[in-house]
A and B are shown apart, each in its own frame.
Chain A
Amino acid sequence: MQYLPNIIFALALAFGLGFFVMNIRKLIRNINLGKDVNRKDKKPERLKNMIKIALGQSKMVKRPLSGFLHIIVYVGFIIINIEVLEIIIDGLFGSHRIFQEVLGDGFYAFLIGFFEILAALVFVAVVIFWLRRNVSNIKRFLSKEMKGWPKKDGNNILYFEMVLMTLFLVMNATDVHFQQAGIGNPISQFITPLFDGFSAEGLHTIERTCWWIHILGILVFLNYLYYSKHLHILLAFPNTYFANLNAKGQFTNLDSVTTEVKLMMDPDADPYAAPPEGEEEAIPEKFGASDVADLSWVQLMNAYTCTECGRCTSVCPANLTGKELSPRKIMMDTRDRLEEVGRNIDANKGVFVDDGKQLLNDYISPEELWACTSCNACVEECPVNIDPLSIIMDMRRYLVMEESAAPQELNMMMTNIENNGAPWQYNQQDRLNWANEE
């Protein structure tokens, strides 16, 4: 019976990690529903971007207040994981504060003291985040797409962090030996007096309870990630690594179109030629994107990485002037549809069964897509290099090339380009007239 806690701990750990791995595999499968795009080049530059932007948070701090608070929570999150490692070892082997023996009193005191200060700072930062989301009138947290689950999700994460930090500090405060040693307890020593009336046994029970809820809470939080916008803590790294490295103004040239255009412009091409043998039944490639599987895996990873901070939307000229378009909503819709497709695949033994829905119209309306000025403000602003503009462009391509569904004025502009080589109805022969007018 004396090994019962160790066994329960090992089971909880195995279950928590196992469930997490299962969901991550699902996540990777869903991302791989996207089309291939080569992002294996320029490895040093990619690595540099990841270190600067994801690890170094260089784009977060462009907004100093939220950037600074975010760094506290981020550093706290990473560093306090050393403590979690100790908890896991203790849990598995029934030891107590194993690192104290291994590292020696002095260094251990320094570490735990540092963790305590971080935990307190994280707690304060998270409370400020909560106030920003729920009390201050910060426009980007009040948008339409942030009603319901997205708002709850944001708050849930903050509650999780508040509770975990509190448990860590109370656990230390009620550890009698730890407090008696009086080292490494710069914060928890002020919590200890709250438990003055308790017996040694009572304190031990509280300490153990906090210890258990803390580690179980971490396992629950780990598994909450998949269902939440909080996945960015993992995906920010691959997302910045695989992000586009070309000039932001450079849009892709569709290869499938190049083939067709070359054929059209080739004077020797036979318009009545039969398709090559074996390709008679081939379905021509779809131009642009109307659903998630038409997007690239990078765009789908972008969608899972988005943490709905709304910095993109807060700088979008269309959104700032009251239009329907919100780049954040484009990313959220893409992820929600991808999740729906993923659930469909799970429910149908690994095959997607047409559900009569798609990303276009069922999630994203043409009105949103046509409001974009392609100014790249959203792309520039994203702290983890998400590219909402590329999705908007791919969907416009579908609307125009597959559905001929451009706004009438744009159809006229395109007809003019076709006929006169200019977006307006002027004669090509008048193109140099400007030189002689004055």
Chain B
Amino acid sequence: MMVPTMADMMAQGKQPEVLFWVGAAGSYDDRAKKISRAFVKILHQAKVDFAVLGTEESSTGDAAKRAGNEFLFQMQAMMNIEVLNGYEVKKIVTCDPHSFNTLKNEYPGLGGKYEVFHHTQFIQNLIKEGRLKIDDTTLKGKRVTFHDPCYLGRANDVYESPRELIKRLGVNLTEMKRNKSTALCCGAGGAQMFKDAEKGDKEINVLRTEDALETKPNIIATGCPYCNTMMTDGIKFKEKEAEVVVKDIAELIAEANKL
């Protein structure tokens, strides 16, 4: 798969239209890597001139910051900003709402000012500009419910971009009882992804999966690699793997367009 790096681009004296910030999950997590690849296929189909940092990318520091380690966060932020500013990056797109939030809201105060998009916003713009079309026949008739990632939804008030893309797939979008600003967290945020939960009577991802299953979906759509992991685990816990799949919106679009 053709994934140019900023270093390649610079060597050729080129400046891409947008930097794809892959994020740690999108780079290393087996499930999330598929999302990265699906998104790259979409970028290729829409002929977007993009590049990644590759081995020069490092953790945004989001997880460290939410865990309370402001030192580590700012070290990461300053290093990344140095790299990004070195390449004169103006526009960034990412499939990870945590990277999206941190780059968009927390980097400017430390000297990193970029125009940052979540991939659902970016794809929506591609459609508006006529650079991409979504085939609404492949997935026609499927029941889809969308789980709002906290760091996209409540944290940044982005509720409509993912939903508009889902509607373009020709599927039936059914909302959970807790949705948009009242959506329940998947349980991964605030660095919870990297530790066991405190003592309680249930796992948060199981509770959220129950919300989703109430809508009797064929597909649970997500827009965050961590939500994806949590919901996938929830579906396994509920032994519903045969009936329900968890897919990122980028994967659904790639599938619809047979990429």
Contact = CB atoms under 8 A, between A and B. Distances in A.
B190 A249 contact: no
Interface stretch (A99-107, A293-301, A418-426): A418-426
A186 to B, nearest CB: 40
B198 A417 contact: no
Contacts of A38: none
A325 B194 CA distance: 18
A194 B136 CA distance: 73
Interface in A188-219: none
A397 interface: yes
Interface in A382-438: 393, 396-401, 406-407, 409-410, 412-414, 417-418, 421-424, 426, 428-438
A265 B78 contact: yes
A322 interface: yes
A438 B37 CA distance: 9
Given A317-B187, A432-B55, A251 B24 contact: no
Interface residues on A, range: 35 or more
B3 interface: yes
A424 B30 CA distance: 12
B16 interface: no
B198 A257 contact: no
A318 interface: yes
A77 to B, nearest CB: 28
Contacts of B27: 422, 426, 431-434
A375 interface: yes
Given A317-B187, A377-B154, A413-B63, A431 B54 contact: yes
B139 interface: no
A247 B155 contact: yes
Interface in A297-329: 315, 317-318, 320-325
Contacts of B191: 410, 413
Given A258-B74, A435-B40, A317 B185 contact: yes
Given A257-B70, A317-B207, A432-B5, A250 B106 contact: yes
Interface stretch (A20-28, A228-236, A365-373): A365-373
A410 B197 contact: no
Contact of A249 (B29, B67, B155): B155
Given A325-B198, A401-B71, A423-B63, A376 B24 contact: no
Given A258-B110, A401-B70, A421-B76, A375 B63 contact: no
Interface string B9-31: 00000000000001010111100
B245 interface: no
A409 B196 contact: yes
A431 B55 contact: yes
B75 interface: yes
B52 interface: yes
Interface string B51-93: 0101101110101111111111011111100000000000000
Contacts of B55: 428-429, 431-432
B258 interface: no
A375 B198 contact: no
Given A406-B67, A410-B67, A435-B1, A375 B201 contact: no
Contacts of B79: 265
A2 interface: no
Contact of B198 (A323, A374, A410, A423): A323
A348 interface: no
Contact of B28 (A321, A373, A397, A430): A430
A250 B37 contact: no
B170 interface: no
A245 interface: no
A287 interface: yes
B205 to A, nearest CB: 9
B160 interface: no
